[in-house]
Amino acid sequence: MSEHFIPYGRQWIDDDDVAAVAEALRADWLTQGPTIAEFERAVAARVGAKHGVAFTNGTAALHAACFAAGIGPDDEVITSPITFVASANCALYLGARIAFADIRPDTYCLDPEKLESAITPATKAIVAVDHTGQPCDLDEIRAIAKQHRITLIEDAAHALGATYRGRPVGALSDMTMFSFHPVKHITTGEGGMITTEDDDLARKMRVFRTHGISRDAASMSFDDQAADNVSGVEPRRNPATPAPWYYEMQALGFNYRITDVQCALGLSQLKKLDRSLERRREISLRYTDAFANSRVLVTPYQEPDRESAWHLYVIRLRLEAMAKTRRQVFEDLRHSNIGVNVHYVPVHLQPYFRERFGFTRGDFPEAEAYYDGAITIPLHPTMTDADCERVIDAVVEAVS
Ligand SMILES: *Cc1c(COP(=O)(O)O)cnc(C)c1O
């Protein structure tokens, strides 16, 4: 096979990105400089949120969001089975239990009715996933969260730049997570961010990402007795005048800090987000047109009141109408150097989740039916028109 491999996703790096990183390398800070806050403000502004808190990666960001939501060992968190394992693991890191609710068969996102019936008195948060880039049923899910007084965390790793009922994804949930892994819309190498409207949640996440340590006088509990050189005196609350060297560890946090160099790349990347979204949309519409008359392919259904950020393009095979298996189609496409993938193996069927929580096949029939026929085909902004045609031709041939 002489034709080049087309991956399912890929970063888009130009000379301006390289120059931005080179400049950051020559600046005074490599790690905790001013570019982090600048990147946080830029992403928050782009999605219409008050705060952005950046992390080493999206998984760390989800962990911090669960921490800020106050999740602990007695709590339960509900997410979708059709997601990356990180959407569930973030709750487990804090000792909580994970539960799932099944997906809608057309959008592949959480079904609000199933979600509502999965809620128990122990439910403390929902991690709602905008799978493939199309926002989930945010108004319905937010209403459920509000009614049950639970925190709504949106996993928007696929949805930077998506809109829901005319509003950008990023300020529609209590906390919204974006990932800057190279296959996502913009990259910092590894990286992630939570956007939120809530001052207190933002403060908690900032403390969590740096060992649980705060230097913010207003949030401190005690001044350092050594500040006054007084021995044998109990520390006392004196937030107005902490000693200049004083810092406080207020919780068990982590080192989840992103770097200035990465955020310089992120700022540069953000400048081409709109072009990237436009190209992703163009390619997706081209695919949907090309497969519209197929009797064996189901193309992605789009709700008219929301605009996907088109992170993934998933085709579903109507296996009952086909002579081939999904595996045969998948392998044929790989042989044609088309970088197909499957997003995702349902989380509840992963051995760790089966063994620890007793989940089994049959628990979430819609998620399993989706999984059985799903194939992700390449979609990224640096694909050429010729690449798209090659993918289309290869898919049409593989399913015939
Ligand atoms: C990429 C991704 C994550 C995790 O992000 P990282 O930055 O890779 O840690 C979480 N959830 C979903 C749905 C993702 O696609």
Model confidence over 109-125: pLDDT tens digits?
999 999 999 999 999 99
Q: What integer pLDDT is reported at residue 234 of this predicted model?
A: 53
Distance 312 CA to ligand 1 centre (A): 13
Is residue 242 a contact partner of residue 217, using CB atoms and an 8 Å limit? Answer: yes
Domains and CATH numbers, the chain: 6-212+252-270 (3.40.640.10), 273-399 (3.90.1150.10)
Q: What integer pLDDT is reported at residue 223 of this predicted model?
A: 60
Atom of ligand 1 at shortest range from CA of 191? 7
Mean pLDDT of 103-108: 98
Which residue CA neighbors atom 5 of ligand 1 most closely?
58
Distance 194 CA to ligand 1 centre (A): 12
Q: What integer pLDDT is reported at residue 239 of this predicted model?
A: 45
Mean pLDDT of 293-301: 97
Is residue 35 a contact partner of residue 44, using CB atoms and an 8 Å limit? Answer: no
Residue with tokens 């399993």: 368
Residue with tokens 């008050």: 50
121 Cβ partners below 8 Å, 6+ apart? Answer: none
Residue 241 clears pLDDT 80, i.e. is over it:
no
Which residue CA neighbors atom 2 of ligand 1 most closely?
157
Distance 399 CA to ligand 1 centre (A): 30
Mean pLDDT of 68-89: 98
Atom of ligand 1 at shortest range from CA of 190? 7
Q: How confident is the model at residue 218 (pLDDT cuts 50, 70, 90)?
A: confident
Pocket test for ligand 1, best of 155, 186, 209, 345 (most atoms within 8 A of CB): 155
Atom of ligand 1 at shortest range from CA of 179? 7
Which residue CA neighbors atom 7 of ligand 1 most closely?
58
Q: What integer pLDDT is reported at residue 221 of this predicted model?
A: 76
Is residue 341 a contact partner of residue 377, using CB atoms and an 8 Å limit? Answer: no
Q: What integer pLDDT is reported at residue 232 of this predicted model?
A: 55
Distance 3 CA to ligand 1 centre (A): 30
Give the 3-state secondary structure of the chain.
Answer: CCCCCECCCCCCCCHHHHHHHHHHHCCCCCCCCHHHHHHHHHHHHHHCCCEEEEECCHHHHHHHHHHHCCCCCCCEEEECCCCCCHHHHHHHCCCCEEEECCECCCCCCECHHHHHHHCCCCEEEEEEECHHHCCCCHHHHHHHHHHCCCEEEEECCCCCCCEECCEECCCCCCEEEEECCCCCCCCCCCCEEEEECCHHHHHHHHHHCECCEECCHHHCCCCCHHHHCCCCCCCCCCCCCCCCCCCEECCCCCECCCCHHHHHHHHHHHCCHHHHHHHHHHHHHHHHHHHCCCCCEECCCCCCCEECCCCCEEEEECHHHCCCCHHHHHHHHHHCCECCECCCCCHHHCHHHHHHHCCCCCCCHHHHHHHHHEEEECCCCCCCHHHHHHHHHHHHHHHC
Residue 94 clears pLDDT 80, i.e. is over it:
yes
Pocket test for ligand 1, best of 77, 98, 181 (most atoms within 8 A of CB): 181
Mean pLDDT of 337-361: 98
Nearest C-alpha neighbor of 152 from the set 168, 134, 137 = 137
Distance 22 CA to ligand 1 centre (A): 27
Q: What integer pLDDT is reported at residue 59 of this predicted model?
A: 98
Distance 349 CA to ligand 1 centre (A): 19
Q: What integer pLDDT is reported at residue 157 of this predicted model?
A: 98
Mean pLDDT of 33-44: 97
Q: What integer pLDDT is reported at residue 242 of this predicted model?
A: 75
Atom of ligand 1 at shortest range from CA of 61? 9
Is residue 230 a contact partner of residue 192, using CB atoms and an 8 Å limit? Answer: no
Pocket test for ligand 1, best of 59, 80, 312 (most atoms within 8 A of CB): 59
- For the record, the structure tokens of 161 come out as 């730049």
Distance 202 CA to ligand 1 centre (A): 20
Give the CA distances from residue 276 to residues 186, 270, 279, in Å, rounded to whole numbers and listed in that order.
Answer: 9, 10, 5
Atom of ligand 1 at shortest range from CA of 184? 1
Distance 237 CA to ligand 1 centre (A): 41
Residue with tokens 């973030």: 90
Mean pLDDT of 2-13: 92
Distance 289 CA to ligand 1 centre (A): 29
What order of strands is seen across the sheet that includes strand 306-307? 167-168, 163-164, 306-307
Residue 361 clears pLDDT 60, i.e. is over it:
yes
Length of the chain: 400
- For the record, the structure tokens of 189 come out as 């190498």
CB count in 10 Å sphere of residue 168: 22
Atom of ligand 1 at shortest range from CA of 60? 9
Residue 314 clears pLDDT 70, i.e. is over it:
yes
Which residue CA neighbors atom 6 of ligand 1 most closely?
58
Residues within a 6 A CB radius of ligand 1: 57-59, 83-84, 86-87, 129, 155, 157-158, 179, 181, 192
More confident residue, 341 or 229: 341
Distance 189 CA to ligand 1 centre (A): 13
Classify strands 51-55 and 97-100 as parallel, antiparallel or unpaired. Answer: unpaired
Residue 371 clears pLDDT 50, i.e. is over it:
yes
Stretch among 80-94, 156-170, 224-238, 296-310 having the lowest mean pLDDT = 224-238
Distance 191 CA to ligand 1 centre (A): 10
Is residue 281 a contact partner of residue 162, using CB atoms and an 8 Å limit? Answer: no
Q: What integer pLDDT is reported at residue 185 of this predicted model?
A: 97
Rounded percentage of the chain residues whose pLDDT exceeds 90: 90
Atom of ligand 1 at shortest range from CA of 311? 15
Q: What integer pLDDT is reported at residue 246 of this predicted model?
A: 85
